[in-house]
Structure 1
Amino acid sequence: MANVTFSSPRMAKDITVYAVAGDRGTVLAVAKQHKIPIPFDCQDGNCGSCVVEVVHLNAPTKYSKYGIALTEEEKETLRQIGKISKDEVYEAEVNDMAPRHRLACQCFVRNEDILVRFEGDETLPAQAPHITHAAQIFKGGIRIASVDEFLGYAVKIEEDAAAHFYGLAEDMKACGNDDVAKLFYQLAGFSRQHLKEAKERATALDAEVVVPPAYVWPDQVTPERTSLMAADPSLSRLDALNAAILGERRGYEFYLALAGTTHNAEVTALAKAFAREEKEHLEILEASITRERWTLAHPDMPALD
């Protein structure tokens, strides 16, 4: 039996599974069996999409020569994607030393414990964002009757979010918390882009954007605002991400709720379009939170490349 530990910023924690040595099972096959999200495509060693780093835990050095079985196809693919050096090719061919990177579909599990690290595509999370019951509550009984009315709400949400995140970014920068400031500048950029799209849609439809008053929102606060109101030099990036994602999720759910309650087909289509864009922002934040947790849990590991 061999212990195979999978580690990735795409997963909330490392996962260790048992694999039967000698059954000709590949690392990718083991990953698929246990629903580990290693990206893959051709499964023939030609595309390079399933590249991983394999650390041999039982060996004197972390890149063991034990059971290397590196084929010409795998070497060529690793060359093409820049994941194997000339020195590693030499060591593989002359001394049977395994290179740092392997293709999961070509690397067979042997009678040894290994750590398999992989990056994955953070823009494509395995699951859709979670929907809470807060959507109906935060919507506050609003039922949009026209495209003009919908765009007014969208403009107000994005204006408020852009100003909120930009203000937080400036405050964080002023107190020296540059890492968190960078995150909030990015979120402000998302909202400004969405605001621009809302105004462009209004212009194209010759709609008059009438921004709704503050009292129509529960607690007079638009959905995407976070609970953070002032700079905190001790605020960590993970704390900021966790606060920000609550606002992004409310914005996503708000648009979905509008789409589900309006009787206007045009409003439904627009609300779903805005929800899709909010979903993309939400997925980026979810992936960033997973990556940040992984980084904090592995302070001694080098960055994935």
Structure 2
Amino acid sequence: MANITFSSPSLSRDVTVYAVAGDRGTILAVAKANKIPIPFDCQDGECGSCLVEVEILSEKRPYGIALTEKEKEALRQLGKITREEVANAEVNDMPPRYRLACQCFVRNEDILVKFAGDETIPAQPPHLSTAAKIYTGGMEISSADHFLAHAIKVEEDAATHFDGLAASMELCGNAEVGKLFRQLAGYSRLHLKQAKERAKGKDLTAQIPPDYVWPEHATPERTSLLAGDADVSRLDALRAALSGEKRGYEFYYAVSGTSKIPEVVALAKEFVKEEAEHVKILEAWIAREEWLATKHAV
């Protein structure tokens, strides 16, 4: 089984899908099945329109490959393969950096697939939930310091909350998920440190927003307390965490799209990118857990 993460400027954020036995085919087939907009035309390895960059994420040695003559010729014409890479693929079974999505078959290994996207189609912004709309009306960010004060509050609460979830999961024997929550808490503390460093030593205490100004009187990344229930399943805990991370992502995205202050927009976009990484991690875990749940139910 394999996690396939698609990354492109034409996507609002990276998308991870789980390819299961029986459903696997070429990268292009998986992309089409999951509505990932990899450009393509002939689908037969001749036009080169489905060029992608593939990075193996699994720690084990990559699976052996066989480059077709069509793919090798298309990559040569595109200037995306060297003689050394061809020889390495044929002699040592080491895949080249660039592939054609219609010719590259998904194996039992996690991969990152990067593609440029169709530049004639304007990039679409991510869908924003009702929560994001709430943030945009009534929480106007007035300055870069004001934004950083909000970010400090968000990341402080997120770190504390994920640590609490980790402790609950560890207590009830879900050590694997507990470890993930500890990792997410660490990310939040790292973002907290970055926000404080960007404040350049200023005391932003007076601008830290109290709980009551947020929707539901809680910062966006606090997930449902259900996620810390000792009886909750790993899958439910991950879904609750994902809900919180998406709300954090949406908050920063909403600020980046509505602020009239260039410095605030730039800062918010940095946080958007970081939150998107968290969402990607959780979506990959959820995809794996859902597949395991289906497998055990059979």
TM class by shorter-chain length?
0.5 to 0.7
Deviations 1:169-222 (A, max 9, x none): 122223333233222211211211111110111126x46353112221122110
Aligned to 2:170: 173
1:76 pairs with one of 85, 91, 94: 91
Larger RCO: Structure 1 or Structure 2 (Cα < 8 Å, ≥ 6 residues apart)? 1
1:232 pairs with one of 229, 247, 250: 229
Aligned to 1:253: 250
Aligned to 1:111: none
Residue pair 2:143, 2:261 contacting (<8 A) in 1 also: yes
Whole-Å separation in 1 of the counterparts to 2:288 and 2:243: 18
Q: Deviation at 1:121?
A: 2.6
SS at match of 2:199: helix
Whole-Å separation in 1 of the counterparts to 2:31 and 2:247: 35
Which one-letter code corresponds to 2:2 in the other structure? S
Q: Which runs of 5+ in 1 are unaligned?
A: 1-6, 18-26, 43-48, 54-71, 82-103, 108-115, 301-305
Number of positions where the alignment pairs a residue of Structure 1 with one of Structure 2: 232
Q: Deviation at 1:295?
A: 3.2
2:3 pairs with one of 9, 13, 17: 9
Which one-letter code corresponds to 2:3 in the other structure? P
Q: Residues 243 and 137 of structure 1: is their aligned pair in 2 closer, same or farther, counting only changes over 3 Å?
A: same
Residue pair 1:158, 1:191 contacting (<8 A) in 2 also: yes
SS at match of 1:9: strand
Residue pair 1:140, 1:217 contacting (<8 A) in 2 also: no
When normalised by structure 2's length, the TM-score is: 0.63
SS at match of 1:176: coil
Deviates more, 1:288-297 or 1:227-236: 227-236
Deviations 1:40-67 (A, max 9, x none): 659xxxxxx98479xxxxxxxxxxxxxx
Whole-Å separation in 2 of the counterparts to 1:158 and 1:269: 18
Whole-Å separation in 1 of the counterparts to 2:179 and 2:230: 14
Residue pair 1:28, 1:105 contacting (<8 A) in 2 also: yes
Percent identity between the two aligned chains: 46
Whole-Å separation in 2 of the counterparts to 1:262 and 1:207: 23
TM alignment of 1:1-305, pairs within 5 A: 8-10=2-4, 11-12=17-18, 14=20, 28=26, 31=29, 41=53, 51=63, 76-78=91-93, 105=103, 117-121=107-111, 130-203=127-200, 206=202, 208-209=204-205, 210-229=207-226, 231-298=228-295
Q: Deviation at 1:134?
A: 2.4
Q: Deviation at 1:260?
A: 2.1
SS at match of 2:224: coil
Whole-Å separation in 2 of the counterparts to 1:237 and 1:33: 28
Which one-letter code corresponds to 2:288 in the other structure? R
Residue pair 1:144, 1:150 contacting (<8 A) in 2 also: yes
Whole-Å separation in 2 of the counterparts to 1:35 and 1:267: 38
Whole-Å separation in 2 of the counterparts to 1:244 and 1:222: 13
Q: Which runs of 5+ in 2 are unaligned?
A: 5-16, 39-50, 55-60, 66-86, 96-101, 118-123
Which one-letter code corresponds to 1:77 in the other structure? N
Q: Deviation at 1:298?
A: 3.9
Whole-Å separation in 2 of the counterparts to 1:217 and 1:253: 13
RMSD across aligned positions (CA): 4.1
Deviations 1:115-160 (A, max 9, x none): x643333697999965323201244521101111111110001101
Q: Deviation at 1:75?
A: 5.7
Q: Deviation at 1:250?
A: 0.4
